[in-house]
Chain A
Amino acid sequence: MNFDKELDARGLNCPLPILRAKKALTELTPGQTLRILATDPGSVKDFQAFAKQTGNELLSSAEKNKEFEFFIKRK
């Protein structure tokens, strides 16, 4: 999937992946996509909730080798 910015939140724990993602999203223009890599297992549900609450769309959420990859489109 195409993306405009990437955030490496691997090794970070709650709530840092969300806080860093929020910061990264503000640096994008509406419609642009952020790719996030994380290792915090809680981040799967957290990014769903974050997207629902903020209106930024969670385009995809995937796991491979205990790493999580999210794509979020800025509102």
Chain B
Amino acid sequence: MGATPEIAVIDDLIRQRLDEILPQKLQEIQEAKTPSMAIIATKGTLDWAYPPFILASTAAAMGWDVTIFFTFYGLNLVKKDVSDLKISPLGNPGMPMKMPFGPDWFKSINWNIPNLIQAGIPGFETVATKLMQQTIANNGVAKIEELRELSQEAGVKFVVCQMTVELFGFNHEDFVDGMDFVGAASFLPVAQTADVTLFI
């Protein structure tokens, strides 16, 4: 770059010095920084309600700045009433179907019920949901209401996609207090500077 010999020497010295002090400086900056996380919550079933709220509440408990952007079916997670969140074993081969009651040998059976039968029995999802709610209670796992409340108490910011609110015919009054109704342009700058960004 046409540098004079003197400048080349200075550049070398600077590089050498930077190598010495930069790692520590970067570590100091990293440690002084409040970690942040931006989550996009897009699922509206009882099972998928857990990951966003578990991660958000835990991160907030560790002092992180957390924002959750609720969009599409994720809107169901911030409605005032979440007692109607359901789980569906239909077409979900990853979901173990075990009974939350009875002797141990009975509880260990994985009921392999064909999709065709699941689809044909009225109320199958309702029963599956009740059984899952019982399993959740048996295992000392928090209810969604509780994790959501703890998240909000700990300062997790909830933002809601206005477009999908309208698309699904919801009203602002359907949702818990303390929400911002925004668009993608408001969320992206938050995600841009977040250390952790998750799409759930």
Quick check: is A15 within 8 A (CB to CB) of the other chain? yes
Residues of chain A lying within 8 A (CB to CB) of residue B54: 14-15
B58 x A15 contact (CB < 8 A): yes
Quick check: is A19 within 8 A (CB to CB) of the other chain? yes
B61 x A18 contact (CB < 8 A): yes
Q: How far is the CB of B195 from chain A (nearest CB, A)?
A: 12
- Among A11, A15, A50, chain B packs the most CB atoms within 10 A around the CB of A15
Instruction: Tell me how many residues of B have a C-beta within 8 Å of chain A.
Output: 13
Using C-beta atoms within 8 Å of the partner chain, give the interface range for chain A: 10 to 19
B139 x A54 contact (CB < 8 A): no
A53 x B150 contact (CB < 8 A): no
Against B, the Cβ 8 Å flags (1 = close, 0 = not) of A2-22 are 000000000111111011001
B58 x A12 contact (CB < 8 A): no
16 CB < 8 A contacts A-B: A11-B140, A12-B140, A12-B142, A13-B140, A14-B54, A14-B141, A15-B57, A15-B61, A15-B142, A16-B142, A18-B58, A18-B61, A19-B61, A22-B154, A50-B62, A53-B63
